[in-house]
């Protein structure tokens, strides 16, 4: 049984930082691209970042480029999302997901190929 568990969310002031973690079990983590997504109430889910095999390909959504950094530790079956210079508009539930492919598909932002999802961790940025 695949389990995807996010952690690290919380309340932070604008301009601050948070580090999210996502630990996966029940699948061959090293051979899966991993993605981070977020969804605020009343909005569509947004692709934040995708990291492919051994971190050799990394992609970011335009809204977070230059402020967020994704990484993975295959020895720990864990993917991380470092978030800096947080803005109020970053407030959302953040989800981690495992892709069926080794590398991020071209349409990763639209959740293509992501079949195993976590329950999410809430990030709230106050002004």
The pLDDT value given to residue 8: 98
* Residue 108, phi-psi category: left (phi > 0), alpha (psi -120 to 50), beta (remainder): alpha
- Tens of pLDDT, residue by residue over 9-43, are 999 999 999 999 999 999 999 999 999 999 999 99
State the Rg of the chain over Cα.
13
- pLDDT (tens digit per residue) in 41-79: 999 999 999 999 999 999 999 999 999 999 999 999 999
Closest Cα to residue 118, out of 26, 52, 11?
Answer: 26
Residue 119 is predicted with a pLDDT of 97
CA distance 50 to 104: 6
């Amino acid at each position: 049984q695949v389990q995807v568990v996010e952690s690290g969310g919380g309340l932070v002031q604008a301009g601050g930082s948070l580090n999210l973690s996502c630990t996966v079990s029940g699948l061959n983590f090293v051979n899966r691209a991993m993605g981070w997504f977020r969804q605020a109430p009343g909005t569509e889910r947004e692709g934040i970042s995708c990291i492919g095999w051994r971190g050799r390909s990394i992609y970011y959504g335009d809204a977070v480029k230059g402020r967020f950094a994704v990484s993975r530790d295959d020895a720990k079956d864990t993917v991380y999302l470092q978030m800096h210079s947080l803005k109020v508009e970053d407030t959302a539930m953040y989800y981690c997901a495992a892709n069926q492919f080794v590398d991020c598909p071209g349409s990763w932002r639209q959740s293509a190929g992501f079949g195993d999802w976590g329950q999410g961790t809430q990030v709230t940025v106050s002004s």
